[in-house]
Amino acid sequence: MSFHTLGEVLRGRAAEHPDRPAMRAGDRTWTYQSLHTESSRVAQAMLSEGVGGQDRVAVLDRNVPEYFTFLFGATMIDAVTLAVNWRLAAPEMEYILNHSQARVLLIGEEFLGHLALMKLETVSKVVVIRSGSDTTSDDDSYRKAVAELSETYSCTEYAEWTEGRESTDPAIVCDPENTCYQLYTSGTTGLPKGVELTHSNLLTGVATGASEWGIDPTSVIMVAMPLFHIAGSGWALSGFHEGAEAVLVREMDPSEVLRLIETHKVTNTLFVPAVLQVLSSIPGVEKTDFSSMRSIIYGASPISEEVLVRSMKVFGCGFVQVYGLTETTGAITAMPEEDHDPGGPKAHLLRAAGRPAGDVKLRIVDNEEGRDCDEGEVGEIWCQSGQNMKGYWRNPDATAEAFPEGRDAKGLGWFRTGDAGYMKDGYLYIHDRVKDMILSGGENIYPAEIENVLMAHAGVADAAVIGVPSEKWGEAVKAVVVDAPGASATDEELSAYCRERLAGYKCPTSIDRVEALPRNPSGKILKTELREPYWAGKGRRVN
């Protein structure tokens, strides 16, 4: 079955297999028909709020089923769903919601405290998802929070918002090249960028993924990665695209993940290396019944051979490595099960990121000399694919920089990934990052964001942030600080200052003091020189 828009995916599967389970979350189950019906009610509710074509609507919560009724409902009226990282600090969330110009905000009850700290410019409707029996607040405090927010916004609960709405799919005509999904990446200059993904981007990506990852209508996929990441939401949509069943994990509780795999006979899942490291090390993990498992997809950060080999032994299923970015709608390479051969003749491929997948074409470019690199020569990875983003929302300069050679009449162009690597025998190897990005536990962290916060503290005269090796997370965030004359701050004070303004995973885990930061004649900090002592002896500058 061929689909052109995300709305068509749900309509098609509901028509073809109305009674097949589409999604399980806790003790609730949606068939494809009931998922279509509830999504239609959400679409009607959005229309009643005045949401129109290409308007932005936002979701701020953990992995909840309402995320998908909201997403599919928005696609039915040609609106754009924005996923907000719930791990961010309130000021970071505020910037994203204002920059996106979101009209409606679907928010989990536990994040109402964050909302109270924000001043939103375009949101007029707030729809609250009650936490149920696991709520961290009592009814009195909840009612008080909603009452205070109601002075600024029109607030209602999700159940009330959708109850009594028509269950008719508006089926508004939507151009496949229209944006339907928007995710924010950390910004190299300190401000996040909104990645616009079209229906065509998403459907190209999920169709390729389903093929490469072995997802079919008989699959039961576990969705355990955060939905504000393409690794979570894109993975889930691959399952819906194929008419598979999705088991939604609210948050990464290792014991619960193992229980759900056994209980629901999960066949396919996606984990980042940090999660594989934890799951494969849980005492008694060998008692879990993994007989239903067909494959595990892993990526988003480098993995050690020790963790990979241990995980392969524990889970006893096929493993597929992937590499990609939000801007490429997720994975653009795949290294299949047959290439995972620890101790065998293909063992060297464990350091590779796989071959280009689907319609993906890769180039390795020497940016300084303006030429394509030879086989085995390190350069920046450039990608051409129908998965490449439409652009950065309200940021034409950044979009133009990302596509330095422009795009053709079909919208295809070469996208600069910012990662350095090389090609050998058709396989891509990741070597380093052209940008200063830190990759910790699968999260992209840009030093500029943290440096901007540190430099605002009166006790800091100068600051640089770098990634250093971490056995658990791959990389950890380290701040190198020059104290302000007569106004220095302790490590504890700087850490607390950062936690108030940044997501916890972005905050430095260690702080070093120096008299001066190394800079070149133009004043740019020499990050390579700063990193060298911590990476000495490492074969590549990604861990």
Range in 135-139, 188-192, 255-259, 390-394 with the lowest mean pLDDT: 135-139
Can you give the pLDDT at residue 193? 95
pLDDT tens for residues 163-216? Answer: 999 999 999 999 999 999 999 987 656 689 999 999 999 999 999 999 999 999
Can you give the pLDDT at residue 134? 46
CA end-to-end distance (rounded Å), the chain:
41
Confidence of residue 133 (pLDDT cuts 50, 70, 90): very low
| Residue 445 identity (one-letter amino acid) | I
Sheet holding 125-129, edge to edge: 154-157, 125-129, 102-108, 56-60, 80-83, 179-185, 193-198, 391-392
Confidence of residue 525 (pLDDT cuts 50, 70, 90): confident
Can you give the pLDDT at residue 543? 58
Q: How far apart are CA 212 and CA 339, in angstroms?
A: 13
| Residue with the two structure tokens 């000495």 | 536
Q: How far apart are CA 207 and CA 222, in angstroms?
A: 18
CA atoms within 13 A on the CB side of 75: 27
Residue pair 420/433 in contact (Cβ under 8 Å)? The answer is: yes
pLDDT tens for residues 387-403? Answer: 999 999 999 999 999 99
Percentages (nearest 5) of helix, strand, coil residues in the chain: 35, 25, 40
Q: How far apart are CA 130 and CA 107, in angstroms?
A: 9
Q: What average pLDDT does range 134-153 have in this prediction?
A: 85
Residue pair 243/217 in contact (Cβ under 8 Å)? The answer is: yes
pLDDT tens for residues 452-490? Answer: 789 889 899 889 999 999 888 889 999 999 998 888 899
Cα–Cα distances in angstroms (integers) from residue 247 to residues 68, 86, 105, 120, 383, in the given order: 13, 20, 25, 33, 32
Other CB atoms within 10 Å distance of the CB of residue 406: 8
Instruction: Name the pTM for this structure.
Output: 0.85
Give the CA-trace dihedral at 467, 472, 474, 479, to 10 degrees. Answer: -10
Can you give the pLDDT at residue 132? 65
Range in 55-69, 82-96, 420-434 with the lowest mean pLDDT: 420-434
pLDDT tens for residues 263-291? Answer: 999 999 999 888 898 899 899 999 999 99
- Average per-residue pLDDT for the chain: 92
Least Cα distance to 79 among 115, 48, 52 occurs for 52
Q: How far apart are CA 291 and CA 15, in angstroms?
A: 32
Task: Report helix angle 491-501 to 447-455, nearest 10.
Answer: 120
The strand pair at 361-366 and 415-424 is best described as unpaired
Can you give the pLDDT at residue 486? 83
Can you give the pLDDT at residue 187? 61
Q: What average pLDDT does range 51-65 have in this prediction?
A: 98
The structure tokens listed for 385 are 């694919």
Q: How far apart are CA 216 and CA 209, in angstroms?
A: 11
Q: What is the DSSP-derived secondary structure letter of residue 68? A: H
In the chain, the percentage of residues whose pLDDT exceeds 70 is 95
Q: How far apart are CA 455 and CA 441, in angstroms?
A: 25
Residues 6+ apart with CB under 8 A from 147: none
Q: What average pLDDT does range 51-56 have in this prediction?
A: 98
In the chain, the percentage of residues whose pLDDT exceeds 90 is 77
Can you give the pLDDT at residue 446? 77
How long, in residues, is the chain? 543
Q: How far apart are CA 253 and CA 63, in angstroms?
A: 12
Q: How far apart are CA 4 and CA 476, in angstroms?
A: 41
**Residue, of 66 and 350, whose pLDDT is higher:** 66
Own/partner pairs, 422-425, CB within 8 angstroms, 24+ separation: 422/364, 422/373, 422/375, 422/376, 422/377, 422/378, 422/379, 423/362, 423/364, 423/375, 423/376, 424/352, 424/375, 424/376
Is the pLDDT at 124 greater than 50? The verdict is: yes
Least Cα distance to 23 among 2, 43, 38 occurs for 38
